[in-house]
Amino acid sequence: MSVETVVKVPLLIAGEWRTGAGSDWIDVTDPATNKVLWQAPCATEAEVNEALAAAQTAFKLWREVPTPERARVMLRYQHLLKEHHDELGVLVAKETGKTMADAKGDVWRGIEVVEQAANVAALMMGETVENVARGVDTHSWIQPLGVCVGITPFNFPAMIPLWMFPMAIACGNAFILKPSEQDPMTAVRLVELFLEAGAPKDLLQLIHGRKEQVDQLITAEDVRAVSFVGSVPVGQHIYRTATDNLKRAQCFAGAKNHMVVMPDANPQQVVNQLVGASVGAAGQRCMAISVAVFVGSAKDMIPALRDELAKVVPGVYTDENAAYGPVISAPAKQRVLAYIEQGKKEGANCLLDGSDCTVEGYPDGHWIGPTLFTGVTADMTIYQEEIFGPVLCCVEAESLDDAIELVNANQYGNGTSIFTASGAAARKYQHEVEVGQVGINLCIPVPLPFFSFTGWKGSFYGDLHAYGKQGVRFYTETKTVTSRWPEDDVVHASNMTITLK
């Protein structure tokens, strides 16, 4: 495809779809072929400023729209997303390389958040206490903040934007979304459907770009809150910069998720689940299991695990037999391959090496086969750093206490699981482990949106563990009103004309 004929990813600024006025363009490639799918513009400084100004104006009108009306937009949006579920799934699969099942799952988990946003009136109810002092009452209201910004990663191009803007907007805010430059067309379609659902045209702005555009957004005076999901160094940068500029910030970062296998666990269940949790989605899930900790004789399950992993074959999204797709890009593949080499150099046993992986008919795809290391120790680079590829590290521990100590000493705390037949072991693990999401006999314990999604230690920077239900608390401010009503005051509560002394 010549550059002239490449489809351009549009920006949405002040209610207008635009081509982008700048000269800096990003090639968005198909991870299975490395061919350019479309090109995304890096928004210019003037375009970002225009988006900020439009969002501020839109907020002033939108915050006055009654909460049930805002909720109705979400209801219509949820309906449209469901209607377009398959089409969105194909778009996600094209941009990310995910299998169709994974891509549709990505969209579905987002739809569930929109359902929660449609319940916003109930979630925004305040609190009241009568007679906090003699004749004095207090009630609280939950009010929107203003302009909020969301910066999202490549690995869930539907779910993660949908974690952010529906809840923020349902609460009465305006929103500026900067999706990943590696798969921005999914966000375009999500926004198109949002407008079709009846949202005011200038309430949601869509900006594309990289660090420069992000930095302009998170330092802008009008921005009140920043939500970020992505890698650790970028999360730390965004948290530091946003808070330094006195914004509310919530940054979900990387992970190294451990699954502890007790000797009494069901071996078949362990092997089946571990295969999907470690190499599914090419290991590019923030909740993927990248470390399996075998306690005592549980290590006898490793040969069966190796045999099952060896049967797993990656492929393109149109291939129903593909277990997972390519990694997102050539640099991502190079990074994962470098980790595999480093693991071998540092003395881990590579029982299964996926470095040299090909898929027939797709010679330029970013393929990596299932890779399994045993004899991994806590000082190795492959144990310490997030690899974000289909690579599983096996560690051995003598006891459950040792396993817990290992998990708690790890710098990350996104997700973890334990497989055991013992209620006492499971209870001890869930109580003592310092990780946000814990699974017992299930390995990717992502809560539904009527719970919060959290992250501990280096997996999260910010003071409000949010999304789902608690998203409302992030995108709002609570105001308490304390009142005294002397008997001679004029009070027309029904039409809200209230005279206070």
**Helices 67-83 and 85-96, axial angle in degrees (round to 10):** 70
Q: Which is nearer to ligand NAD, 211 or 484 (CB)?
A: 211
- Residue sitting closest to ligand NAD (CB): 230
Instruction: Report, in angstroms and rounded to the nearest whole number, the Rg of the chain calculated over CA atoms.
Output: 24
Token pair listed for 188: 């375009």
Nearer residue to ligand NAD within complex by CB, 202 or 386: 386
From the candidates 171, 286, 357, 393, give the one annotated as an active-site residue.
286
**Helix (H) / strand (E) containing 142:** strand 136-144
Torsion 341-342-343-348 (CA) sign: positive
Beta bridge partners of 492: 497
Name the minimum Å distance from CB 46 to ligand NAD: 20
Greatest distance between any 2 Cα atoms in the chain: 86
Minimum distance between the CB of residue 43 and ligand NAD, rounded to whole angstroms? Answer: 12
Q: How far is the CB of 157 from ligand NAD (least distance, A)?
A: 9
Closest distance to ligand NAD from the beta carbon of 155 (Å): 5
Interface with ligand NAD (CB under 6 A): 151-156, 178, 180-181, 210-211, 214, 229-231, 234, 237-238, 252-255, 286, 386, 388, 414, 455, 459
Residue 132's H or E segment, with its range, is strand 128-133
Amino acid identity of residue 447, one-letter, is P
> Is 286 marked active-site?
yes
Nearer to ligand NAD among residue 172 and residue 455 (C-beta): 455
To ligand NAD, the closest distance from the beta carbon of 455 in angstroms equals 5
d(CA 392, CA 250) in angstroms, rounded, equals 29
Rounded alpha-carbon distances, angstroms, from residue 20 to 23, 49, 151, 225, 346:
8, 13, 19, 25, 47
234 versus 351: smaller Cβ distance to ligand NAD: 234
- Tokens encoding 337: 């391959």
Nearer to ligand NAD, 459 or 476 (CB): 459
Give, in order, the Cα–Cα distances in Å from 75 to each of 104, 120, 201, 471.
20, 11, 17, 18
Give catalytic residues, as residue numbers.
286
